[in-house]
Amino acid sequence: MSDSIRQDNGGAAAADRAGSLAGLRVIDLTQMLAGPFCTQILADHGADVIKVETMAGDGTRVTGPFLSEDQARDYGGYFQSINRNKRSIVIDLKREEGRDVLRRLIDGADIVIENFRAGVMERLGLSYETLRQTNPRLIYGAVRGFGDPRSGVSPYADWPAYDVVSQAMGGMMGITGPDAQTPTKVGPGVGDTVPALMLCVGVLAAVHHMHRTGRGQFVDVAMTDAVLALCERIVYQYSYTGQAPQAQGNRHPLLCPFGLFRARDGHVSIACATDAFWEALAGFIGRPDMARDPAFATNAARVQRQQQVIDAVEAFTSVRTKEEIAAVLGGRVPFGPVYTAAEIFQDEHYARRQMLVEVEQPGACAAVQIVGVPIKLSESPGAVRRRAPLLGEHTGEVLRAAGYDEDGVARLRAAGVVR
């Protein structure tokens, strides 16, 4: 093997370690959860994400929890969890000179992502149409409560939105909860994180298109649209039957048994989506007769007699601990205990999958743990490479890389344009 081949392979290996998206530069104008969650996924997989913050910083910097020993409180767990692998620069976008700095950064970028209300970037003179004039390859991603007018003007286009709003209007709350009279918010902020995931997919699709054609484009995701897409079942149910689906607690409207069941020390999930799984479960719980009885042998029959099926399963689960149930059902039928965070930390699965990752916490001696990278790539894996940034931690290096000399950086700092 020649030396040149060895060098080439070494360079390729180094690029792979940097992640699949190494070489992409993202200007991140987002805050709170939806936007930062999207840009973090890109950063996890190697994109250089430059987080542009106001003088006060992203509002989640002041949101806890904080470690008791952390007196600086530069940021807490919220910010740490969704801003790792990014660099922070502070620019005052209320000033024309600050907007000039941002334009310069965007001209050298592949992607810009923002989650302002519709019209904010236009008022700043930073619309997609303006930015593409000097960077025609630019991919511009936006995530808003009700989308961008470019894709269709929503009657709610000017409404602000958060997770609970998109969960409510996207149909999720209406099918979640113990009954139709008690709509319930899903625990995590899926009204933000699901739109973030969809924006990430859209941006990467646009990157592929740009590599083929040399043209960038606008990528628009409405939080409410994304939640509705996640709840796709309610659309076809209503279209096919004319009946609006309602909350059914921990049951499934089309499958049985499929849901949560009481254990002696909590709850477990059991999901028999096929009659074969039901036959196996019926044997394990000591009711093989129910697998042979026509009243319970098929899924359609069981759905009609859900309560009887649930009672039979809980007669077995309710008198046993989660661990005891796992010893019988684990690996034999679709089953899982309902975990608390403490139980997740104790489960070897998450350690082996590197899903609990230690990072430095500024202001504290002890490391903290945040969730790891769930998308596993064999050749170019993503990784948690650095903690979340301090406010403006990388302003100088980002500006120098953009062509500003030391005097220029110092002048911008002295004028309060950057920090």
Q: Which residues are catalytic?
A: 192
> In sequence order, what E strands does 322-404 have?
335-337, 356-359, 368-371
> In sequence order, what E strands does 251-363 have?
258-263, 266-271, 335-337, 356-359
Question: What tokens does 167 get?
Answer: 């969960």
Residue 389 burial by Cβ neighbours in a 10 Å radius (0-12, 13-18, 19+): buried
Give the whole-angstrom CA distance, residue 358 versus residue 57: 24
**C-beta of residue 110 within 8 angstroms of C-beta of residue 24:** yes
Cα 285 to chain center, whole Å?
Answer: 38
Kind plus residue range of the DSSP H or E element containing 28: strand 25-29
Give how far Cα 32 sits from Cα of 40, 115, 163, 367, Å. 12, 9, 11, 23
Among 56, 69, 30, residue whose Cα is nearest residue 367: 69
Among 67, 39, 60, 63, residue whose Cα is nearest residue 361: 67
Give the whole-angstrom CA distance, residue 31 versus residue 115: 7
Torsion of CA 34, 39, 44, 47, to 10 degrees: 170
SS (H, E, C) 163-178: HHHHHHHCCCHHHCCC
Give how far Cα 352 sits from Cα of 175, 330, 340, 378, Å. 35, 19, 18, 15
For β-strands 111-114 and 25-29, DSSP reports them as parallel
Give the whole-angstrom CA distance, residue 45 versus residue 23: 11
Question: What tokens does 138 get?
Answer: 């630019």
Give the whole-angstrom CA distance, residue 95 versus residue 224: 33
